[in-house]
């Protein structure tokens, strides 16, 4: 067994225009001051990392790594959530998702997709240059708008969509394999990979590609009423990353999973700061430890109620308190009577 690494923090929700959240050195010092040991870096803000440069220049990658190390931290992984989303976009969402793309490819879905694919390939090489072994992204979605179909889905629509999704992602997965990096999909509503079944459908289409792995985030499963503990039992061999994020689901006579078009604060299902929601993290950390998870425990903070700085401060201690330092001996060793093969055979009547 391994002791899970951490605590670490995903910086995406904390980046801003004011110190200490507006440059890599300052935000790392802030995180270290709260007790974090690692940072997960988004790659859509060049103030923190220039993804293409990190892919093409080992010297630059070493400089980025040095800035983080100087604060007493490690880079846990890079993230391309926004770029991954653009690998597969249904035309119904073109205008909204253009916000994730640079001006040069907006209003041009084909060029936007090419840009996104190249970003993922840069991420594979940048991760290698930084000495990492895993990366997180979104799958994108071609048929999310049909998740609750009315009118009914045409026969073959799902198979066609997942065949195309695999066609777009398999070359990217191959680049990650060439660089020795596990590509971890965050299973998330809004993505075609949003639960275990959809992940399995995709995995079959990419021929069980060894790099098509998972980021585990129980908050998204609470909001879907999915058994997030059994999920670990089923998929533990593919879980290479872990977002520690809390959530709650309180359905009423007026709303349930779909939320009634309400904003986050008024939804039956909503994300919460660590310890304020309903996720059973004691059982999660126990299962991941039992299954020999070797990665990081990374805070992802999203809460409609609590101030982010309070969530970050409380989250560091919360994760630290839940990490299980694994034992190096069995608890009942004190009662061991000793044995050898002859003694064992005698005990079961073979001699």
State the pLDDT at residue 267: 97
**Out of 20-34, 154-168, 299-313, 337-351, which region has the weakest mean confidence (pLDDT)?**
337-351
State the pLDDT at residue 330: 73
Q: How far apart are CA 64 and CA 46, in angstroms?
A: 11
pLDDT digits (tens, 9 = 90+) for 84-128: 999 999 999 999 999 999 999 999 999 999 999 999 999 999 999
pLDDT digits (tens, 9 = 90+) for 303-345: 999 999 999 999 999 999 999 999 887 777 766 777 788 888 8
State the pLDDT at residue 201: 98
Give the residue extent of every domain in the chain. 5-347
Q: Are β-strands 5-10 and 239-244 bridged in parallel, bridged antiparallel, or unpaired?
A: unpaired
Query: Are the C-beta atoms of residues 113 and 162 closer than 8 Å to each other?
Result: no
State the pLDDT at residue 42: 98
Token couple for 320? 């630290």
Give mean pLDDT, residues 255-273: 97
Buried b (16+ CB within 10 A) or exposed e, 235-264: bbebbbbbbbbbbbbeeeeebeeeeeeeee
Q: How far apart are CA 125 and CA 206, in angstroms?
A: 21
Per CATH, the homologous superfamily of domain 5-347 is Divalent-metal-dependent TIM barrel enzymes (3.20.20.150)
pLDDT digits (tens, 9 = 90+) for 54-82: 999 999 999 999 999 999 999 999 999 99
């Amino acid at each position: 067994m391994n002791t899970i690494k951490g605590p670490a923090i995903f910086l995406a929700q904390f980046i801003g225009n004011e110190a200490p959240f507006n440059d890599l050195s300052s935000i790392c010092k802030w995180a270290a001051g709260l007790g974090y040991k690692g940072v997960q870096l988004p790659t859509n803000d060049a103030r923190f990392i220039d993804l293409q440069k990190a892919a093409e220049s080992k010297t630059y990658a070493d400089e980025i790594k040095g800035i983080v190390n100087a604060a007493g931290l490690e880079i846990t992984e890079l993230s391309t959530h926004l770029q991954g989303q653009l690998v597969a976009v249904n035309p119904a969402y073109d205008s909204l998702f253009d916000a994730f793309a640079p001006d040069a490819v907006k209003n041009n879905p084909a060029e936007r997709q090419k840009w996104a694919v190249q970003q993922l390939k840069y991420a594979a090489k940048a991760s290698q240059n930084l000495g990492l072994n895993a990366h997180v992204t979104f799958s994108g979605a071609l048929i999310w708008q049909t998740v609750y179909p009315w009118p009914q889905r045409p026969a073959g629509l799902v198979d066609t969509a997942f065949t195309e999704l695999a066609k777009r992602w398999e070359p990217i997965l191959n680049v990650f394999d060439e660089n020795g990096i596990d590509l971890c999909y965050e299973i998330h509503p809004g993505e075609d990979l949003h639960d275990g079944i959809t992940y399995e459908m995709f995995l079959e289409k990419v021929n069980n590609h060894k790099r098509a792995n998972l980021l585990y985030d129980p908050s998204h499963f609470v909001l879907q009423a999915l058994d997030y503990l059994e999920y670990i039992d089923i998929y533990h061999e593919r879980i290479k990353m872990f977002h520690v994020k809390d959530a709650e689901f309180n359905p009423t006579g007026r709303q349930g999973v779909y939320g009634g078009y309400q904003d986050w604060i008024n939804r039956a299902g909503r994300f919460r700061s660590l310890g304020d929601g309903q996720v059973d993290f004691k059982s999660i950390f126990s299962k991941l430890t039992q299954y020999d998870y070797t990665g990081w425990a990374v805070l992802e903070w999203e809460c409609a109620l609590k101030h982010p700085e309070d969530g970050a401060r409380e989250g560091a201690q919360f994760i630290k308190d839940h990490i299980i330092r694994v034992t190096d001996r069995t608890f009942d060793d004190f009662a061991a009577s000793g044995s050898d093969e002859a003694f064992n055979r005698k005990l079961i009547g073979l001699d």
